[in-house]
Structure 1
Amino acid sequence: MLLDVVLQSFDIFFQNPVLFGVAVVAVAVGIVLGALPGVSSTMALAILLPLTFGMEPEVAIMLLLMVLVASVFGGSVSAILLNIPGTPGAIVTQFDGYPMAQQGKAGRALGHALIASTVGGVLGVFALMLIAPLIAKSAMNFRSPEFALLALFGLVLLAYAANGTMLAGLLSGAIGLIFGMVGFDTVTGVARFDFGTAVLQNGIHIIPVTIGIFGITEVLGTLAASRSGPLPKVPPIGKLFPTVADLARVAPTWVRGSVIGTFIGAIPAAGSAIAVAVAYTVEQRLSRGTKYIFGKGEPRGVAAPEAANSALTGGATIPMITLGIPGDPMTAILIGALIIHGLQPGPMMFTENPEIIGAIYGSIMLAVLLTFAVGMVCLRGIVQVMKLPTHIMMVLITLLCMVGAFAIRNSISDLVMMLVLGGMGYVMTVLRIPVAPLVFGLILGPLMEENMRRSLIISRGSWSVFLERPVSLAIIALIILVIGSSLWPRKKRKPDA
């Protein structure tokens, strides 16, 4: 049954040659955007999301996943060639990828990254297909108290995993929660936080926030960083495909990296940085006598993080479609896309919208295979795009952001909101306050508020409703454990002060 749904999602592309061509272009665009320094996978999704508004939900989510999967690999291109990771997940790839490029093996390094990314992506999809239905079946027994606490748990995890202190992450998440309460109250019909203006009575739309925080903020940061000097020159690629002996030696690394990436990706907010770091460290530990060759151009040092980074896409999709909790900033944007198309991620999607679940499975698999094909055929040409001046690319991206924010409701207020939040996001990054929890708070806030109020209405105002069910108690214990673990090191260091 599940395989039939996946094959049906493939048929959507293969029965429509134009749509298949668009998918190929989406993969190529994803690789380009991921390869450009300063343009992350999250930013790529944010600026391209408005283009999917007029599409059918299945097609929209498919094309976004095409861009996502391709951009994840694209981040390794600039990491290997320029020693500048195009995406956060490619930070570890540069440790061995760039030394290989300096040794005249740039093509082989890119080949190892592409093959490892393909293997990791395929294994990640299989894990998604096996694990997601089991979690969704268990989540069908959840009630309002569990969903409210689950949303709070997701926000706490995201704050814990974000860059900076947990207090800064919680502050950013709280701002997102406040943004989510702007507009008419769904229960009482009273306008909240609208400051007497009709513009805010309909609430703050998620798309201007997403484009501003993940798009304009990154543009401003990239332009500020580019003032320090020009990018290094792109070296010649040379031979692209590794030797058979190299592939045989690296094959076990693909499997280990894929397992690590899938497992860590399934943990909400764990993120690609953790997955690639763990995969790289595991390979070093298993190398024994050859441990010290890592960092000097070792192919396993490229394959391990790339397999983990690609498998993480399938793993991070698990909490998104089963619980409605974003696994990382990229799946947060995908949740926004589903909501815009009238779909609510969560366990009910498996019974109410199985075609969307099949589309997600099939499109990730197809995206992985197309990324491999496009990478092998067009990678040399794609690399030429990286030679464009940074300021020209940032201007083009800014124009796309502005068009995307305006196109949602044809409203100047959305455009102004996007620009203001972009500036606000840049100030937050300068102050070392993570911006991702703000977007997560905007997504999870309404879910948490709605279920919390429903729980209190049913219990006639008694907060004990959150303590009466074992699952609720378990989630509360996990929230306390996460907050406590963030405070523990600080307490431990006090005697030395």
Structure 2
Amino acid sequence: MLIDSFFTSLLATLASPWGVTLAVLGTLLGIVLGALPGVSSTMALAILLPLSFGMTPELAILFLLCVFVASVYGGSISAILINIPGTPGAIVTQLDGHPLARQGRAKEALVYALVASSVGGVIGLALLVLIAPLLASVAMQFRSPEFTAIAVFGLVLLAYASPGSTVRGLLVGAIGLLCGMVGFDALTDVSRFTFDSRSLQGGIELVPLCVGLFGLAEVLRHLHASRQRRPDVDMATLHSPAPKLGALAKRWASMLRGSFIGALVGAIPAAGSAIAVAIAYAQEMRFSRRPERFGQGAVEGVVAPEAANSSSIGGTLIPMMTLGVPGDAITAVLMGSLLIHGLRPGPMLFAENPGFVGSLYAGFLLALLLTLALGLVLMRWLPWILRIPSHMLLIGIALLCVVGAYAIRNNMADVYIMLFFGAVGYGLHLLSLPTAPLAFGLILGPLLEENLRRSLLLGRGSWEVFLHSPIAMGLFGLSLLAILLPLLAPLWVRLREDIKRVSAP
């Protein structure tokens, strides 16, 4: 069923002028925005998300996936040419990519990054197609206790994997949970936390929160660092011959290792691409016969992280599509798009909208192919992208944030919400607190509250209803372990030191 829908959607998109136009436009915007320092994939999706409101769900997910996939590769462009990663996932790419560029091998490094990104994306898509339906079929057997445990487990993991301490991540996630309670109660229809404001009776929309948190807040962050960084490598090397197919084929092992690591790590909620590329880079150094070359221009140091970076896209989509839990901040923005179009990510998405799932798979593949083709074509003009003045870029992004927030419901209240959470996001940055758990709390909060209360109703007010579910108890146990691990780790280290001190002669 899904395979038939996949091919039908792919052919329908290729036969549609609108589909091809939006795919090409999304890919171009993704490469450009991803290549610009300071514009992450999350920020690119947040500011372009409102453009998809007037589209059909199939065209909207096609456009956003093209932006997503292309921006992941685009982040490696600035990492290689000017030693500044355009996206967090490209942090590791700069370690060997920029030394290669300084050696006169800029085009070689960019081609390796592009091909590895394409291969990794295809493997991530293949694992998504294979694993997601199986996991969704299992998740369809879940009841309210299991979904309650999943929501708790997702929040804990997201806080645990966020930068800084776990306690801070949990604190920000709790604020997100409170934001999810604003508006009318779904069960009792009682108004809560609205402060007698009609604008808040419908709750806080996810899209203006994401636009403010990941878009406007980033603009405020970069206002004090708006100096333009110029390429410090010889751009004439971009006109040199690209590596031959034989040289690319020799890196197949690095591409495969990085791809599988990226997809598997990306499937863990909150792990994301940054952790995946770090693990892929470390494993590549371990397998290398000459690990001393890493950091000085090793091709494997570009190929493996880029393959992991792109394959993690398919991994992060697995928990979002099957469980309704965002894999990272980027998929949280994608969830906002699906919710705007009346689609609720989760196991029922496969049963009720198999045609849309097939469209998502087809859009993912088309995005990978267009990124590969346009990436090769645009390679000689990449330096011009990096010369866009920072002040013009920030002004344009701020305007898109305002227009995009207003376009959701043609309501100024959403603009005020966006401005408020833009200031909140900037304040969290100043306090060194993670921002992503706030959005995750807003997404998972209603899921947690609704299923928790429904579970207690089924158990007639008794918490024993969770004891009868092994899956729920297992997830609660893992959540508790994740919370206690940062507290127990220092004690374990101290205990080991004491044992060594006592056993020493």
TM range (shorter): over 0.9
What are the residue-to-residue correspondences of 1:9-24 with 2, within 5 Å? Answer: 9-24=9-24
Q: What is the rounded CA distance, in whole Å, between the counterparts of 1:350 and 1:421 in structure 2?
A: 33
Match of 2:277 in 1: 276
Which amino acid in 2 is paired with 1:153?
Answer: F
Query: What is the rounded CA distance, in whole Å, between the counterparts of 1:440 and 1:80 in structure 2?
Result: 32
The one-character-per-residue Cα deviations of 1:134-155 (angstroms, maximum 9, x if unpaired) are 1111111100011011011101
Partner SS for 1:163: coil
How much has 1:239 moved relative to structure 2? 2.4
Match of 1:182 in 2: 182
Residue pairs, 1:349-428, within 5 angstroms: 349-428=349-428
Confirm or deny: 8 A CA contact 2:22 2:59 kept in the other structure: no
1:39 maps to 39
State the 1:55 CA deviation: 1.1
CA distance in 2: counterparts of 1:491 and 1:62, whole angstroms:
49
Within 2, Cα distance between the matches of 1:230 and 1:350?
Answer: 46
Q: Is the 8 A contact 2:230 2:387 kept in 1?
A: no
Q: Deviations over 1:66-106 (max 9, x none)?
A: 11000000000000011000000000000000001111111
Q: Is the Cα contact below 8 Å between 1:106 and 1:238 reproduced in 2?
A: no
Match of 1:231 in 2: 229
Deviations along 1:338-389, whole A, 9 cap, x unmatched? Answer: 1111111111111100011111111111101110001011232344122011
- 8 A Cα contact 1:104 1:238, kept in partner: no
**Structure 2 residues without counterparts, runs of 5 or longer:** 499-505
Letter in 2 for 1:60: A
- Output the amino acid matched with 2:490: R
Which whole-Å CA distance do the structure 2 matches of 1:309 and 1:64 have between them? Answer: 17
| CA distances 1:259-287 after superposition (whole Å, capped 9, x unpaired) | 10011011111111110011111111111
CA offset at residue 493 of structure 1?
5.3
Corresponding residue for residue 257 of structure 1: 258
SS in 2 for 1:84: coil
Distance of 1:86 and 1:268 partners within structure 2: 23
Matches within 5 A, 1:208-227: 208-226=208-226
The separation in 2 between residues aligned to 1:491 and 1:431, in whole angstroms, is: 27
**Paired AA for residue 284 in structure 2:** E
Amino acid at match of 2:202: N
Q: Aligned pair 1:451/2:451, yes or no? A: yes
Structure-2 separation of matches of 1:281 and 1:455: 44
| Pairwise CA distance, 1:464 | 1.2
CA contact under 8 A between 2:406 and 2:414: conserved in structure 1?
A: yes
Give the Cα–Cα distance (whole angstroms) in 2 for the partners of residues 428 and 379 of structure 1: 37
Q: Tell me the equivalent position of 2:503.
A: none
Give the Cα separation in 1 of the matches to 2:245 and 2:416. 55
- The amino acid across from 1:247 in the alignment is L
CA distance change for structure 1 residues 190 and 487 in 2, over 3 Å: closer, same or farther? same
Contact 2:2 2:355 survives alignment (8 Å):
no
- Call closer, same or farther: CA 1:240–1:51 in 2, change over 3 Å: farther
- Point out the more displaced range, 247-256 or 208-217: 247-256
Deviates more, 1:456-465 or 1:154-163: 456-465
Say yes or no: does 1:243 pair with 2:244.
yes
Listed as ranges, the matches of 1:96-495 within 5 Å are 96-226=96-226, 229-233=227-231, 235=233, 236=235, 237-239=238-240, 241-288=242-289, 290-492=290-492
> 1:217 offset after TM fit, Å?
1.1
Structure 2 CA distance for aligned equivalents of residues 391 and 30 of structure 1: 20
- What is residue 93 of structure 2 aligned with on the other side? 93
| Deviation per residue, 1:388-410 (Å, 9 max, x gap) | 11111011111111100011111
- Corresponding residue number in structure 2 for 1:83: 83
- Aligned letter for 1:269? A
1:230 Cα deviation (Å)?
A: 3.4
Q: In the alignment, is the contact (CA less than 8 A) between 1:176 and 1:440 conserved in 2?
A: yes
Could you tell me how far apart the structure 2 residues matched to 1:452 and 1:334 are? Answer: 25
- Partners of 2:188 and 2:232 in 1: how far apart? 59
Alpha-carbon distance, 1:5 to partner: 1.3
Match of 1:27 in 2: 27
**Any unmatched runs of 5+ in structure 1?**
none
Q: TM-score, normalization: structure 2? A: 0.95
How many residues end up aligned between the 2 structures?
494
> What per-residue deviation string (whole Å, max 9, x for no partner) do you get for residues 152-209 of structure 1?
1101000000001001100110111000000111111111011121121111111110
Q: In structure 1, how many angstroms separate the alpha carbons of the residues matched to 2:390 and 2:247? A: 35
SS in 2 for 1:348: helix
Secondary structure in 1 matching 2:250: helix
Provide the identity percentage.
54
- The CA distance in 1 between the partners of 2:297 and 2:244, in whole Å, is 15
Could you tell me whether the CA contact under 8 Å between 2:239 and 2:380 is conserved in 1? no
Q: What is the alpha-carbon distance in structure 2 between the residues aligned to residue 81 and residue 277 of structure 1? A: 20
